[in-house]
A = this chain, B = another copy of it.
Amino acid sequence: MNKRKLDPAALLNPVPVVLVSCGSKDGKKANAFTVAWAGTICSKPPMVSISIRPERFSYGLIRQTGEFVINLVGENLLRACDYCGVRSGEKEDKLQKMGLHVYPVEELKYAPALVESPVSLVCRVLSVQEYDGTHHVFSAQVLRVYADEQYFDRNGKLCLEKAGLVCYSHGDYYSLGDKLGFFGFSVASDAVYRKRMQIKSRKRKKKS
């Protein structure tokens, strides 16, 4: 064993890539921005958290309205997503600049969802934790999910693997690569394993 000790750092990787959309209280402005830190925090009811720097333009919008939408990012959205992470919505209309479109969702009054996103999670803020650090943590309940029709199969199953979702690790964006297993594969029967991994032959893949 040979370990190097490092100063504390935000090294939990890989992380999801998301575009968060929100709106102004006067209903005149919609904005989209990238948050570095977003995650699920509860399965039932589904809850998420996003962390936002107080100095960001959208911080004020979300504090005022208590609403946001988390839009998952496929490869086709990545360039726009990166742009929305480095530019501020205070100075320009990033949505227009990047050719993005929004649609209203009936569950919220101010925040719209992004047309170009494969899956959008409609969220209402439950609490804000103001830790003494760079980011404040917005915890929210997921009220509804909108998913693009093209990702459903004929049985109505959402095939998210077709959406080309992107992840972020240590400064770089990556596509998802090989399917390595499924939840519970380590204790699954051979029959279940072959079916879920779509293995035709009887020989099980080398154990990872």
Residues of A that sit less than 8 Å from B by CB: 1-16, 18, 36-49, 51, 70, 72, 75-76, 78-80, 82-83, 85-87, 101, 103, 113, 115, 119-122, 126-127, 129, 131, 133-135, 137, 139, 141-150, 152, 158, 160-161, 165-187, 207-208
Minimum distance in angstroms from A188 CB to a CB of chain B = 9
- Could you say which residues of chain B place their CB within 8 Å of the CB of A18? 12
| Residue in A144, A158, A176 with the greatest tally of chain B CB atoms within 10 Å | A176
Contact status B42-A51, CB under 8 Å: yes
Contact status A2-B142, CB under 8 Å: no
Instruction: Given A1-B103, A6-B158, A79-B186, check contact A134 B12 (CB 8 Å).
Output: no
Instruction: Given A12-B121, A180-B175, check contact A145 B6 (CB 8 Å).
Output: yes
- Could you say which residues of chain B place their CB within 8 Å of the CB of A179? 172-174
Contact status A131-B47, CB under 8 Å: yes
Contact status B46-A40, CB under 8 Å: no
State in angstroms the CA–CA spacing of A176 and B137 once bound together.
27
Contact status B171-A134, CB under 8 Å: no
> Nearest chain-B residue to A147 (Cβ)?
B4
Question: A103 contacts which of B3, B170, B174, B182 (Cβ < 8 Å)?
Answer: B3
Contact status A40-B12, CB under 8 Å: yes
Contact status B173-A181, CB under 8 Å: yes
Selected A-B contacts with CB under 8 Å, 28 pairs: A2-B149, A3-B103, A3-B148, A5-B145, A6-B145, A8-B121, A10-B43, A11-B142, A12-B40, A12-B48, A13-B165, A14-B14, A15-B40, A37-B39, A37-B40, A41-B131, A41-B137, A75-B180, A82-B184, A126-B131, A165-B169, A167-B167, A167-B176, A172-B181, A173-B182, A174-B179, A174-B180, A175-B178
State in angstroms the CA–CA spacing of A41 and B10 once bound together.
9
Contact status A14-B167, CB under 8 Å: yes
State in angstroms the CA–CA spacing of A14 and B181 once bound together.
14
Minimum distance in angstroms from A91 CB to a CB of chain B = 14
